[in-house]
């Protein structure tokens, strides 16, 4: 049962997480107002407008992250804002311009617009585990941890997420606000996509099928299903007691588990999946040497995380919001089959 008859504002509605969020909100009976940079293109593609309930309860409106005040006219009568829009790119020409500015400016634009809109009760912000850490460690991570290592030259994407979230909390502390802020910190998001395009987590799996990842390496990746991330946002919106940050992770399966699931699904009949096992100490030395020939973004994603362990304490979201998790193998399988059916697996990079 919807907790509000007013439209729920979802920013960046054509994004991977946001599109799933729109789908679940519509399924739950909510009215949805989704922002996108190009409404005409979104309507033409039809991925959101064809969702069940969209013709009656979905409105698409134009807004740009970098345009001050762009969200203000779209908050009229809105009580809940789910701010997901933020660039997710590992290799950019100008990290400040391409990552940090859009992430921070977009978040601050939404917050300033909410401050000017008396009807707003809560903002749920999509941050990232990247704002918690830029790598693995032995002891568990919690919501109290912050990424202190990243910068414009060292993990600029993680730095952009950290700066955007810190700016949001600083804004909330400046003076009493008439709305509250809840933050979702998901790890790598996988699963089937409502929209027909690929993102960085998809590219990782595609790389297992096009020769970019010729061997199985010693890496574990904390992941969570996109359907669970959307559910976490809705729970954070609907639970009056929700507060602070919420780590969102289903676990950290090793690289080999992806290959096993894809083999079990019969995808080895269509693609040359990695067989060489370098997921051992000697293999990791070989991989580190090979990384010296790779682009900076790839090196930063792989080299520090070889053999790293990721242990996340997700008891806060489980206990306070009643969150549970989809089976990891199901998430890997569903993403692989979605990419296979859409013709992305095995595709060579442009």
Please tell me which residue, 293 or 164, carries the higher pLDDT value.
Answer: 164
User: In the beta sheet, which residues pair with residue 278?
Assistant: 217
CA–CA dist 346, 156 (Å, integer)? 28
Please tell me which residue, 205 or 66, carries the higher pLDDT value.
Answer: 205
- pLDDT per residue as tens digits for the range 284-319: 888 888 887 777 666 766 777 788 888 999 999 999
Q: What's the angle, vertex CA 149, arms to CA 143 and CA 153, rounded to 5?
A: 135
CA–CA dist 136, 150 (Å, integer)? 13
Q: What is the pLDDT of residue 67?
A: 85
Q: Which fold has domain 8-191+223-250+309-327?
A: Rossmann fold (3.40.50)
Mean pLDDT (the chain) is 92
**pLDDT band, residue 200 (cuts 50/70/90):** confident
**pLDDT band, residue 89 (cuts 50/70/90):** low
CB contact at 8 A, 187 and 248? yes
CB contact at 8 A, 194 and 206? no
CA–CA dist 78, 74 (Å, integer)? 8
Among 201, 194, 255, which residue's Cα sits nearest to residue 90? 201
Q: Which helix (H) or strand (E) holds 216?
A: strand 215-217
Q: What is the pLDDT of residue 174?
A: 84
Q: What is the pLDDT of residue 297?
A: 61
Q: What is the pLDDT of residue 127?
A: 96
Catalytic residue among 161, 231, 288, 309: 161
> Percent of the chain at pLDDT above 90?
72
Active site annotation includes 231: no
Q: What is the pLDDT of residue 99?
A: 86
Chain position carrying tokens 């460690």: 137
> What's the Rg (C-alpha) of the chain?
20
Q: What is the pLDDT of residue 88?
A: 66
Mean pLDDT value of segment 100-122: 93
- pLDDT per residue as tens digits for the range 250-263: 999 999 999 999 99
- pLDDT per residue as tens digits for the range 320-341: 999 999 999 999 999 999 999 9
- pLDDT per residue as tens digits for the range 14-28: 999 999 999 999 999
Q: Which helix (H) or strand (E) holds 227?
A: helix 226-238
Q: What is the pLDDT of residue 157?
A: 85
**pLDDT band, residue 274 (cuts 50/70/90):** very high
CB contact at 8 A, 209 and 271? yes
| Residue 102 main-chain phi, psi, to 5 deg | -65, -40
CA–CA dist 16, 200 (Å, integer)? 10
Q: Which 3 state secondary structure label does DSSP give 281? A: helix
- Its sign, for the CA torsion 188, 191, 193, 197, is positive
Q: What is the pLDDT of residue 341?
A: 96
Q: Which two tokens stand for residue 133?
A: 């850490």
Q: What is the pLDDT of residue 253?
A: 95
Q: What is the pLDDT of residue 112?
A: 94
Mean pLDDT value of segment 36-41: 94
**pLDDT band, residue 154 (cuts 50/70/90):** confident
Q: Which 3 state secondary structure label does DSSP give 350? A: coil
CA–CA dist 314, 213 (Å, integer)? 31
Please tell me which residue, 110 or 294, carries the higher pLDDT value.
Answer: 110
Chain position carrying tokens 């790119």: 89
Q: What is the pLDDT of residue 66?
A: 81
**pLDDT band, residue 135 (cuts 50/70/90):** confident
Average the pLDDT over each of 54-63, 159-168, 189-198, 288-297 and give the range with the smallest value.
Answer: 288-297
Scanning 8-100, the segments in alpha helix (DSSP H) are 16-27, 39-45, 54-57, 95
**pLDDT band, residue 95 (cuts 50/70/90):** confident
**pLDDT band, residue 94 (cuts 50/70/90):** confident
């Amino acid at each position: 049962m919807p907790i509000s008859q007013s439209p729920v504002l979802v920013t960046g509605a054509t994004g991977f997480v946001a599109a799933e969020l729109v789908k679940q909100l519509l399924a739950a009976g909510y009215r949805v107002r989704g922002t996108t940079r190009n409404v005409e293109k979104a309507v033409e593609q039809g991925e959101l407008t064809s969702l069940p309930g969209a013709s009656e309860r979905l409105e698409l409106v134009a807004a740009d992250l970098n345009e001050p005040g762009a969200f203000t006219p779209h908050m009229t009568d809105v009580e809940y804002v789910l701010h997901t829009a933020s660039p997710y790119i590992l290799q950019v020409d100008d990290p400040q311009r391409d990552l940090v500015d859009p992430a921070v400016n977009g978040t601050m634009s939404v917050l300033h617009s909410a401050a000017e809109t008396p009807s707003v009760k809560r903002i749920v912000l999509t941050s990232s585990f990247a704002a918690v850490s830029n790598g693995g460690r032995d002891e568990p991570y919690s919501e109290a941890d912050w990424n202190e290592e990243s910068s414009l030259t060292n993990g600029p994407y993680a730095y952009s997420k950290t700066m955007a979230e810190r700016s949001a909390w600083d804004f909330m502390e400046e003076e009493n606000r008439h709305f509250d802020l809840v933050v979702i910190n998901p790890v790598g998001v996988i699963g089937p996509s409502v929209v027909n395009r690929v993102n960085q987590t998809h590219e990782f799996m595609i790389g297992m099928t096009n020769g970019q990842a010729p061997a199985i390496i010693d890496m574990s990746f904390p992941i969570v299903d996109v359907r669970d991330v959307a559910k976490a946002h809705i729970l954070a919106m609907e639970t009056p007691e929700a507060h602070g940050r919420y780590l969102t992770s289903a676990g950290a399966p090793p690289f080999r588990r992806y290959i096993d699931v894809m083999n079990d699904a019969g995808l080895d009949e269509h693609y040359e999946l990695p067989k060489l096992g370098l997921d051992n100490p000697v293999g990791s030395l070989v991989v580190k040497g090979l990384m010296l020939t790779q682009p900076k973004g790839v090196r930063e994603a792989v080299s520090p995380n070889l053999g790293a362990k990721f242990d996340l304490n997700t008891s806060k979201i489980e206990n306070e919001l009643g969150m549970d998790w989809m089976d990891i193998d199901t998430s890997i399988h569903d993403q692989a089959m979605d990419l296979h059916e859409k013709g992305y697996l095995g595709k060579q990079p442009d």
